[in-house]
């Protein structure tokens, strides 16, 4: 989907150049009644692209799911909409967040800039918020000492097989406890044994958050739509 976003910006840039040429370099072409239909179409496309990109930048943005780290909640081939306005904004992922409607909560599915490579976007579930103490004990998640109910979690290797094959020191089995720093969050995938998440690369700075996953609007594999997954709300 990021490739599609790049294409949209390129198209908008090309249309902007054409609009500039027609307005400032070749105004006679624009005023010629014989070209009225072409000019009107170009104007409409430019306005539509400007509105769409503004909405994508500020309000909603589509994403695709490239990996199985959030299975079975999200699957490869899911197309989702992300609400960008809910958690507010950070300019260029550098400034404190502003215009926040709310902070991320435990259980929210969040899209964010990958801390180790800002050219990539990741999607994970928020497991810990600032001040929380997060710990895995034999695959079970504890937050602030309380065992968490996680019906969405998938394990490839259930206990005690995971303990025997991975070992007690594996972060897939035991992790922490760690205390979440101010302005940071602990993120984990629902496919707990196949997720590259905060257990490996650390806590997520809130400046890198893009938004909260809202719902699946399309799903297809081999170009065949799966209507059972469409319009599924994400929790």
Catalytic residues: 69, 124
Sheet containing 146-147: which strands, arranged edge to edge? 146-147, 140-143, 133-137, 175-179
Tell me the C-alpha distance between 186 and 203, whole Å: 5
Neighbours of 95 (CB within 10 A): 10
Tell me the C-alpha distance between 210 and 95, whole Å: 13
Strand partners, 82: 61, 213
Residue 65 has φ and ψ, to the nearest 5°, of -95, 115
Nearest residue to 121 (alpha-carbon basis) of 93, 144, 102, 100: 93
Write the DSSP symbol of residue 129. -
Tell me the C-alpha distance between 175 and 26, whole Å: 66
Instruction: Give the three-class secondary structure for 154.
Output: strand
Residue 27: C-alpha distances to residues 13, 24, 32, 43, 69 (Å): 20, 6, 9, 14, 54
């Amino acid at each position: 989907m990021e490739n599609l976003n790049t294409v949209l910006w390129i198209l908008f840039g090309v249309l902007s150049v054409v609009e500039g040429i027609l307005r400032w370099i070749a105004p006679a072409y624009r005023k010629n009644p014989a070209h009225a239909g072409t000019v009107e179409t170009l104007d409409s496309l430019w306005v539509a692209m400007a509105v769409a990109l503004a909405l994508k930048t500020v309000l909603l943005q589509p994403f695709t799911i490239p990996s199985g780290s959030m299975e079975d909640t999200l699957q490869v081939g899911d197309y989702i909409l992300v609400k960008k306005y809910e958690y507010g904004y950070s300019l260029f992922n550098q400034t404190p967040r502003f215009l926040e409607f709310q902070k991320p909560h435990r259980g929210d599915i969040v899209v964010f800039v990958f801390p180790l490579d800002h050219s990539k976007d990741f999607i994970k579930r928020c497991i810990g918020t600032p001040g929380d103490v997060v710990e895995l004990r034999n695959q079970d998640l504890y937050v602030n000492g309380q065992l968490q109910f996680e019906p969405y979690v998938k394990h490839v290797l259930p206990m005690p097989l995971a303990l025997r094959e991975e070992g007690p020191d594996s972060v897939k089995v035991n992790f922490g406890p760690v205390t979440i720093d101010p302005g940071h969050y602990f993120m984990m995938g629902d496919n707990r044994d196949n997720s590259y998440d905060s257990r490996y690369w650390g806590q997520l700075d809130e400046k890198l958050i893009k938004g909260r996953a809202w719902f699946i609007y399309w799903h297809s594999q081999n170009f065949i739509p799966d209507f059972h997954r469409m319009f599924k709300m994400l929790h």
